[in-house]
Amino acid sequence: MKSNIWKAFWLTLIVLAVLTGLFFLPRMSVADTDLRRVNILSDVQRRDSDGQIIAEVKADEAEGFVEQKVDSHAIEVRQLAYVDTIPKGMVAIEDFADTKGLHREMDKFYKALGEAHSRNVRVAYFGDSYIEGDILTMDLRGLLQQKFGGKGVGFIEIQCVSSDFRRSVTTKRNGWNKYHANEKGKGFNASYQGPAGSYFIPYGTATFEARGQKNVYANLLDTAEVATVFYTPGTGLNIDYALNGGAFESLFSNGGSSEPDTYEETVEYLDSDSVVRYKTVTRHVEGSQQGAGNVVAKTINGRIGKFNLSVKGGSGSRFYGVALDGKKGVAVDNFSMRGSGGQHLSTIPQETLHSFARVRPYDLIIIHFGLNVAGPKQKDYGFYADQMGKVIDHFKAAYPHASILVVSMGDRGSRGSDGQIHTMGGVKELISFERKMASDHKVAFWNLYEAMGGDGSIAKLKEKKEANLDYTHINFNGGKHLASLLYEVLMNGKENYDNRVR
């Protein structure tokens, strides 16, 4: 009988050779699933500290497989592993842009701050009487300008309730009909209003003067580098200006015609290295000049300590204000509305906001209201949150490149049964609704109430002469204190942003 032992031996040897050879084949995948490498010696081979078979790692490296996978994994881990550092005691900004933290609402502003050395970075701060007269915003502006550059007080209404006690700029005016959202019974037309909730119509020869201040932030406010006039032109309009008490020069004149005017717009573009840059281009106003969306911005450059404006004629013209800025660096515009809960912002025509976004784009929009909404017996603020949610969406549509930050109302005090000043009822409930509103609309939120100390903190500010006797409003000293808190929070956020994107 012929023996088959040699056939079995050779068959086994061939199978072993084939299986051994399969080890050196490149890895394969089926339906995006990586198949394991064939390795019949896996149980007896040496492994590294991570438990991986050394021979397999070397084979994978030869194919570039592990290098590609490890780099991809490492990038993902770096993105997710960084955790923001927050100093002890700081109430940080909560960012609700998404749940994974890969895209954050405030990042747009932090990125812009890194570009302040080469362009204007603008902040619009909307609030109630808490910031009236440039309280808080004056010091926030000063701190940001000292850090990132910039000059001037920013946007100034032709006339407002705080014109005569604002410390950061002095103004004079004559020959204007004022129309304001707080005075709806005096001919105010909401479809004509600008971002400050107001507009002004000249009669006769209307004049306006703005003078930088030397008593506060002198090196930043006493002189500006750019003056900008914002208006919607009518027919027969003549605008003259003068700098520092000099002779008047013509800024605009249409001689009774309605030919299209021009405006300047800041636009983004990619340079040859695919880096985002910014430049200013001149556009022509299209369509009817008297339309709400045709806001014109006329700029004057120079060393500007005092700016004078003279306006004649201009049937159908509307003026909104003047801005005093630097050529680059940070600008902070104060848009305060006494007695408002902020709902009026949703009545600004979308086309007007879009038009202002062209001529004065913002990198951060702060929405800070609640003082006139909280009630001692009210617990449910759902309706108010819905109204302000519409305001957020309104601004998102017009300023898609801007970060939006909701700042809660601060502490408001009332005397308790123990005779001490405590937080008024309804305040904490309102703040909870403001926070949920920010979360629902995926923007950022900062709890000013907690940051200033929580229960009874307004009374402590009053003791330090930083708040008024009404235990509601802060004064300029209190504004300086709270501005420093917000500034430190913003700088902490920027530091974390810089660490994340390195």
DSSP states of 426-439 as a string? THHHHHHHHHHHHH
- Count structural domains, the chain: 3
* Whole-structure pTM value: 0.79
Same domain, 117 and 162: no
Domain boundary among 31, 52, 81: 81
Is 373 inside a domain boundary?
yes
CA-closest candidate to residue 282, choices 362, 358, 195: 358
Same domain, 115 and 137: yes
Residue 63 has pLDDT above 50, yes or no: no
Report percent pLDDT > 90 for the chain: 64
Q: What would the mean pLDDT of 221-227 be, rounded to a whole number?
A: 95
412, with CB counted inside 10 A (0-12, 13-18, 19+), is buried
- Residues shown for the chain: 502
Give the CATH number of the domain where residue 136 resides. Answer: 3.40.50.1110
The gap between the terminal CA atoms of the chain, to the nearest Å, is 78
Report percent pLDDT > 70 for the chain: 78
CA-closest candidate to residue 317, choices 291, 345, 338: 291
Q: How far apart are CA 461 and CA 448, in angstroms?
A: 14
Is 230 inside a domain boundary?
yes
Same domain, 350 and 434: yes
Domain that residue 391 falls in: 92-150+328-502
Domain boundary among 311, 327, 343: 327
Is 349 inside a domain boundary?
yes
Chain position carrying tokens 């940070």: 330
- At 288, the pLDDT band (50, 70, 90 cuts) reads very low
Cα distances (Å, whole numbers) of residue 112 to 101, 265, 267, 441: 19, 17, 14, 22
DSSP string, 203-250: EEEEEEEEEE-SSSSHHHHS-EEEEEEEEE--EEEEEEEEETT---EE
What amino acid occupies position 75? Answer: I
pLDDT at 243: 97
**Element (DSSP H or E) covering residue 341:** none
pLDDT at 44: 59
Q: How far apart are CA 32 and CA 157, in angstroms?
A: 61
Q: What would the mean pLDDT of 82-99 be, rounded to a whole number?
A: 87
Chain segment 15-24, per-residue pLDDT in tens: 777 767 666 6
- At 494, the pLDDT band (50, 70, 90 cuts) reads very high
- At 258, the pLDDT band (50, 70, 90 cuts) reads very low
